[in-house]
């Protein structure tokens, strides 16, 4: 087995962002989640929207940018719910813009602009947190998180329905690409070892996803709004490289991520013990 350790977490890594695409992506994700909620429980829609609006208004206050500078039609983007609720759509855009520190009345363009990567992570993870928090505001934490899990399964089916599977990818090729990107963008401190050629276990000791949500001091909702998507049943159906975790940094000292090639391991392999994963490679 191969052991490596990467201390790649960095708070300051500047990355070029197309703000037009950034805003559209996270408005679309919110729209898709709301649309799936309507399919499952339309009865609470009005309360949910009001709870989400209340959360975002508290953050945005009177701040505003030129939301009309984002042309969804020009980008062939069709919104479902938010096409009818322009005020909420604009509120989401203003929230994102304020969190990343754009001056008031700014126009959004497709020009590449440099931002700290951690700031951009924090911004969209915070929006995701509020989407989940609004559901628990309406239903309570236990029932809200149960419903969110159902909504998330439908979201994954819808969001990734047109994504094509790359038949040439392998666990090793994905590992090489992931390690390169995680270190380039300062994503985390981690180690990994290959169990065999077609399965690899990672241990994350620090991760940007966890770090960006610590401020909310609610690991349950932080987990649901970020990492849960990779643990639901629908996630692995869209790919040949499958994932399983037994814990994340939201609730434990480290995150254990096992990836395997489902074409080779047609029966899911056993998860390495936490003790094994903990001792793969000591921190440097």
The DSSP line for the chain is ---EEEE---S--EEEEEHHHHHHHHHHHHHHHHHHHHHHHGGGHHHHHHHHHHHHHHHHTT---BGGGS-TTTTT---SSTTT-HHHHHHHHHHHHHHTTPPTTPBP-SSEEEEEHHHHHHHHHHHHHHHHHHHHHHH-HHHHHHHHHHHHHHHHHHHTTTPPP-TT--HHHHHHHHHHHHHHTT-EEEEEEEEETTEEEEEEEEEHHHHHHGGG--HHHHHHHHTGGGTSTTGGGG-SEEEEES--TTTSSSEEEEEEETTT-SSPPPPPPHHHHHTSS---
For 216-265, what is each residue's pLDDT tens digit? 999 999 999 999 999 999 999 999 999 999 999 999 999 999 999 999 99
Tokens of 75: 């980008």
Contact 18, 112 (CB under 8 A): yes
Q: Indicate if the pLDDT at residue 38 is higher than 80.
A: yes
Residue 181 has a pLDDT of 96
Q: Given a cut of 60, is residue 70 above it in pLDDT? A: yes
Domain ranges of the chain: 4-12+166-278, 14-159
Average pLDDT on 102-114 reads 94
Q: What is the pTM of this model?
A: 0.94
pLDDT at 244: 98
Determine the average pLDDT of the residues in 200-229: 97
pLDDT exceeds 80 at position 130: yes
**Residues 150-167: tens digit of each pLDDT:** 999 999 999 998 888 888
* pLDDT range class, residue 283, cuts 50, 70, 90: low
How much of the chain, in percent, has pLDDT values that exceed 90?
90
**CA atoms of 71 and 24, how far apart (whole Å):** 9
Question: Is the pLDDT reported for residue 2 higher than 60?
Answer: no
> Which pLDDT score, from 0 to 100, does residue 75 have?
63
Predicted confidence at residue 3, as pLDDT, reads 77
Residue 76 pLDDT grade (very low, low, confident, very high; cuts 50, 70, 90): low
Please check the confidence at residue 1 and state whether its pLDDT lies above 60.
no
């Amino acid at each position: 087995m191969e052991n490596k350790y990467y201390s790649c977490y960095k708070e300051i890594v500047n990355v070029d962002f197309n703000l037009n695409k950034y805003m559209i992506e996270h408005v679309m994700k919110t729209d898709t989640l709301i649309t799936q909620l309507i399919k499952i429980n339309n009865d609470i829609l009005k309360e949910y929207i009001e709870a989400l609006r209340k959360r975002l208004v508290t953050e945005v206050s009177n701040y505003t940018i030129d939301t009309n500078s984002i042309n969804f039609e020009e980008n062939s983007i069709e919104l479902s719910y938010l096409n009818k609720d322009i005020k909420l759509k604009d509120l989401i855009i203003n929230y994102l813009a304020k969190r990343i520190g754009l001056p008031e009345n700014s126009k959004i363009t497709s020009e590449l602009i440099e931002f700290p990567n951690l700031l951009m992570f924090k911004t969209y993870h915070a929006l995701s947190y509020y989407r989940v928090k609004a559901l628990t505001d309406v239903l309570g934490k236990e029932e809200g998180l149960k419903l969110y899990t159902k909504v998330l399964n439908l979201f994954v089916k819808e969001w990734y329905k047109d994504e094509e599977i790359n038949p040439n990818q392998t666990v090793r090729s994905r590992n090489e690409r992931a390690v390169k990107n995680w270190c380039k963008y300062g994503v985390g401190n981690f180690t990994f070892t290959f169990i065999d050629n077609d399965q690899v276990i990672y241990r994350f000791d620090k991760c940007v996803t966890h770090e960006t949500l610590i401020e909310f001091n609610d690991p349950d909702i932080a987990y649901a709004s970020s990492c849960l998507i990779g643990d639901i049943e629908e996630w692995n159906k869209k790919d040949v490289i499958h994932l399983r975790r037994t814990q994340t940094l939201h609730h434990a000292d480290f995150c254990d991520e096992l990836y395997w090639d489902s074409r080779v391991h047609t029966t899911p392999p056993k998860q390495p013990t936490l003790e094994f994963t903990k001792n793969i490679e000591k921190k440097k």
